Structure formats: structure tokens, C-alpha cells
A and B are shown apart, each in its own frame.
Chain A
Amino acid sequence: MDFLTVLISRANYWAYIILMMVGLYAMIAKNNLVKKIVGMSIFQTAVILFYVSIGAKQGATIPILRHGPVPEGGGIAHAALRHGTDAVQAVNYINPLPHVLMLTAIVVGVATLGVALALAIKVYKEYGTLEENEINQRLRRG
């Protein structure tokens, strides 16, 4: 495999690394509190992108069975459906386990965003600014 093929076939993971570093940079280097919170949100969604990319598959469909479960018993025809080529093949379906984990992560992300913004509003009501250096100056003055 040449370099370009590797670059394109792993594009989700490259994008995940870039987004995570963008979020980390915003959390560390930005001076404004809301900008830091936006960076935290980007960081969280980068982790979600990583997990969903693990579950994704080329040439597979969404994880819903095309036909229902085969009933117990029922003779030779049903036995063929359970074990033969018509049986449910896991390779045809995207892995749903990372999706379920990330549903929780999205909701937790919104909850942390709400708490962080509420704290930012309290800081603004106390100090009259959202800039970190101005807050530090006022703290040093006492």
C-alpha cells in the first residue's frame, strides 16, 4: 500500500487527531473562558469520532436484522437458516457497541457544557469579565 492509500483509508483517524489537538490547544492557550469551553466540546466530540470510526466497516449496513430470528425446532429448513449461508453474518453489519457507548458520551458532554457555562456566567457576574488575565489581575489586587 502506498502512502496516499494509507492516508485516505485512515482519514477518520487523522481527522480525530487534528480535532483533538485543536481542542487541547483551545483549552490551554486561549484566554477567554467561553473559548476554553468550546475547546472542551471539540475535544469530547473528537473522542466520539474515534470510537464511531472503530465500529465503522466498509460494505456493511446499519445494525438492524433484515429478517427476524429463526424459531427453535422446525426441521431441516430452519436448521439451514440458523447455520447455513442464510444465517445472520456479523460481517454484514456495523458493530453497534461503540455507538451505544457514545450515546451516553454525547449526553454527558452536553451536561458538562451546561455546568461549565453556568460557572462562566457566575465568574462574569463576580468579576465583570471573561478574560483569564483580567480575572488574575483582579485576584492579585485582592
Chain B
Amino acid sequence: MIWQLDLIILVLVIVCAIAAINVKDLLSAAILLGAYSFLLCLLWAIMGAVDVAFTEATVGAGVSTVFCVSAVFHTTRRTTD
């Protein structure tokens, strides 16, 4: 585990999470959630959990982003918070 890389990615993960819940557009929130998942995938690879890393990349980042984007297109992008 390289702790410098670990710290940088942890900061980016927290920034992505806060941005995903504060942005005023639901499509942007879905894409930021995908970026958050890919950053977590890098974090698992750094911590040596390679099996968790590729499961997160395919299932967590790939499939859940597609779910969120399709749900936004079936409903609305508008949000008040």
C-alpha cells in the first residue's frame, strides 16, 4: 500500500461524494457517482483487493451508472437540492 497515493485518492473520493449529493442536476449526480465508484476501484487496487477492484469497476461503476442514467431519463433531471 502506497500511502501518498492512498491519501490523494481518499481526498478525491470524498470530494466526489460531496459533489454528487450537492449538484443541482440529477444526470450530473449520476455521472459523479460513477466517477466516485471508479476512484474507489483504484483504492481497492492500491489496498491489494484486486478481486474487489474489478467487481467494483464492472458492477459498481458500470452497471449502477447505467441504472442511474436510465432512471434519470425515465423521470426528470430537475431537482431542488
Interfacial residues, chain A to chain B (CB-CB below 8 A): 8-9, 11-12, 15, 18-19, 22-23, 25-26, 30-32, 34-35, 37-39, 41-42, 45, 48-49, 52-53, 55-58, 60-63, 94, 98-100, 102-103, 106-107, 109-110, 113-114, 117-118, 120-121, 124, 129-131
Name the B residues within 8 Å of A25 (CB-CB): 21
| B41-73 at interface with A (beta carbon < 8 Å) | 43-44, 47-52, 55-56, 59-60, 63-64, 67-68, 71-72
Cα distance A49–B49 in the bound complex, in angstroms: 11
Q: Is the CB of B64 within 8 A of A34?
A: no
Chain A min CB distance to B74 (Å)? 5
Q: Is the CB of B17 within 8 A of A42?
A: yes
Name the residue on B nearest A42 (C-beta).
B17
Cα distance A15–B11 in the bound complex, in angstroms: 8
Name the residue on B nearest A117 (C-beta).
B71
A-B contact pairs, 15 of them (CB 8 A): A8-B7, A11-B7, A19-B17, A22-B14, A30-B81, A38-B21, A42-B20, A45-B40, A53-B47, A57-B48, A58-B1, A106-B55, A109-B60, A113-B67, A124-B76
Q: Is the CB of A56 within 8 A of B1?
A: yes
Per DSSP, chain A at the interface is helix
4 other contacts beyond A53-B47, A62-B50, A107-B59, with CB at 8 A cut-off?
A: A22-B21, A26-B21, A34-B29, A94-B47
Give the residue among B14, B17, B37 with the most A Cβ atoms within 10 A. B17
Chain A min CB distance to B67 (Å)? 5
Q: Is the CB of B13 within 8 A of A106?
A: no
Q: Is the CB of A120 within 8 A of B75?
A: yes
Chain B min CB distance to A48 (Å)? 7
